[in-house]
Chain A
């Protein structure tokens, strides 16, 4: 064989190997964030997301586990003195704040409700507390239209935010505010600095046009865009990596999709998947036999509580109030992979259609949609 042909064949083989390596590496590089198998590590990851409260985790988990051997809850307590639109739990003072149907902010102290001395808020449509409830993002109608503000549970005052905000969520550090803003006809994703009293922002994604999506800051580098649930309209979930500046479609063609992230697990439901308790990659982390909505669930460390409708009900009918549910309570031990029914029939006399569920080490709070009062199972 002529040397020139030998050279040619060797080069061809090397070229094919290089091509395969290049193709495989580049493919893996793009899909890694969405496809990484985190099922086996999710529990560990979940355990480390607790932040400042981590130091007491083990004790409280043990306490919950011990309590769970018997009857978990022994009483139900009405928290609000009037129907409530929204509420949040302020961890530092172990206190519930809530907003009434007339836009008054109240706090519950030792079984009594006190009015916070600030102006009534009109048409409050969004209430987003940070993880410990110390600061709360509020969206309401002010004198000049829609307003976003930050309520301090400590100072009991509202700091108005930039008027160009379309949507806002907390950053993972629970201090900065990530927002989509509209300026000069262009939408951008920005970060408002808490140290500058939210008056200044830095652009993190310039000029991005995504309508009717919810933002969720998943980690320091990952920002999710979750298309809102539309009855029979297929929705998508996208992720933007702030470090690599890569935009990926995480899920698409989801029908009846609803999503609730908590510190310890994500809950979602879709027509195809049913109800799922998931890790941060939206991968199922434990089997469930019951069907419910994420809005009816919460977690405290590695324990999840979900109210579960006993009647067939569609997400749209439930969200619009066309149909009310009749709930029972389930507990999910994520580490042990167990699902159990919690008997609360002896303490609850009225039917429960739970919404906006929030678990703390000592209580399970929810709004009962039948009368819109806030309750606590203790």
Chain B
């Protein structure tokens, strides 16, 4: 009788142990979410200091990438973790703790995908992002509503480069064509147009072409056109 009770108690303890083990291991399996990979990047090219947005890379721009892995809100220590970076499927960096990478997109790149895979134990987590590669842009700032400018006024037009592979405004050469006539070439990105000039009649459209060349990268030549309307 005593032995029977003892056996029953042993059964209970055994079941309790087995069930608890299964229960809590299942619990931790259900609860532990997969790590989330956070990829951020910055493009190292030129844009005016007044621009508060993100620099977008053009062909040839150095793009610096960084990764963090977050699990249940906590940053994971990736210093001993194998990290592999790929650009359009081609490996660019692989190694333990390689949380940063550098990519440059070329003319020959058909797409601009970057992927990173992180080996966490037996699991490998991967994330892909598409980095928008844009053409360098020249903006002609005509500070008049609807580009309608009054007659007999000196108007100032500013040429502002965006996303060229340059370091400062000194790296650019600007030239202009106003109403078909060539105007100065040089490093000044501003031009004054006198709408009182006899060759500029009222109620007509004048075409302004702005040209920019990046002296650091001679292939980066951009032309932008705008039109102004001369009011009475």
Residues of A within 8 A of B (CB): 3-4, 7-8, 11-12, 15, 19, 22-23, 26, 30, 85, 123-125, 208-213, 227-233, 235-236, 238, 244-249, 315-316, 319-322, 324, 326, 351, 369-371
Report if A209-B68 is in contact (Cβ < 8 Å); known contacts: A231-B132, A249-B36, A319-B51: yes
- The 6 A-B residue pairs with the shortest CB-CB distance, nearest first, are A246-B73, A230-B54, A209-B66, A125-B49, A228-B54, A212-B42
Q: Which of B31, B36, B64, B145 contacts A324 (CB 8 A)?
A: B145
Query: How many residue pairs bridge A and B at CB < 8 Å?
Result: 117
Contact of B52 among A227, A228, A245, A369 (CB under 8 A): A228
Q: Do residues A4 and B11 form an inter-chain contact, with CB atoms below 8 A? A: yes
Whether B38 contacts A229 by the Cβ 8 Å rule is: no
Contact B139 A351 (CB under 8 A): no
* Contacting pair A211 B72 (CB below 8 A): no
Compute how far the CA of A124 lies from the CA of B50 in the bound complex, rounded to whole angstroms. 9
With most chain B CB atoms within 10 A of its CB, the pick from A19, A26, A124, A320 is A320
Which residue of chain A is the closest to B43 with respect to CB atoms?
A: A212
Instruction: Please measure, in the bound complex, the distance between the C-alpha atom of A249 and the C-alpha atom of B37, giving whole angstroms.
Output: 11
- Option from B27, B41, B64, B145 in Cβ contact (under 8 Å) with A19: B27
Residues of B near any A CB (own CB < 8 A): 8, 11-12, 15-16, 19, 23, 27, 30-31, 36, 38, 40-42, 49-56, 64-68, 70, 72-75, 99-100, 131-132, 134, 137, 139, 141, 143-145, 158, 160, 162
Neighbouring B residues of A326 by C-beta, 8 Å: 145
Interface of A is mostly: mixed
Closest A residue to B224 by CB, please name it: A322
* Closest beta carbon of chain B to A327's beta carbon, Å: 10
Residues of A within 8 A of B23 (CB): 15, 19
Q: A316-B53, A321-B160, A322-B141 are in contact. List 18 more A-B contacts (CB 8 A).
A: A4-B11, A15-B23, A23-B31, A123-B49, A210-B38, A210-B40, A210-B66, A211-B41, A211-B66, A213-B40, A227-B40, A235-B54, A236-B38, A245-B73, A247-B68, A247-B70, A249-B36, A319-B53
For A212, the closest partner residue in chain B by CB is: B42
User: Once the chains are docked, how many angstroms separate the CA of A30 from the CA of B31?
Assistant: 12
Q: Is the CB of B75 within 8 A of A208?
A: yes
What residues of chain A lie closer than 8 Å to B132, measured between beta carbons?
Answer: 230-233
B52 and A11: CB pair below 8 A? no
Cα(A3)–Cα(B4), bound, Å: 13
Cβ-neighbour of B40 out of A211, A247, A319, A320 (below 8 A): A211
User: Closest CB of chain B to A286's CB: distance in Å?
Assistant: 26
Query: Which A residues touch B55, using CB under 8 A?
Result: 212
A369-B144 Cα distance, complex, nearest whole Å:
10
| Cα-based distance from A319 to B139 in the complex (angstroms) | 11
Q: A209-B68, A209-B100, A231-B56 are in contact. Are A320 and B74 (CB under 8 A)?
A: no
- Residues of A within 8 Å of B75, CB to CB, are 208, 247
* Subset of 30 A-B contacts with CB under 8 Å: A11-B16, A11-B19, A15-B19, A19-B27, A22-B31, A209-B40, A209-B67, A209-B100, A210-B40, A211-B64, A212-B55, A229-B53, A230-B53, A230-B56, A231-B56, A231-B132, A233-B56, A233-B131, A236-B38, A245-B73, A247-B68, A247-B70, A320-B51, A320-B160, A320-B162, A321-B141, A322-B139, A324-B145, A370-B144, A371-B143
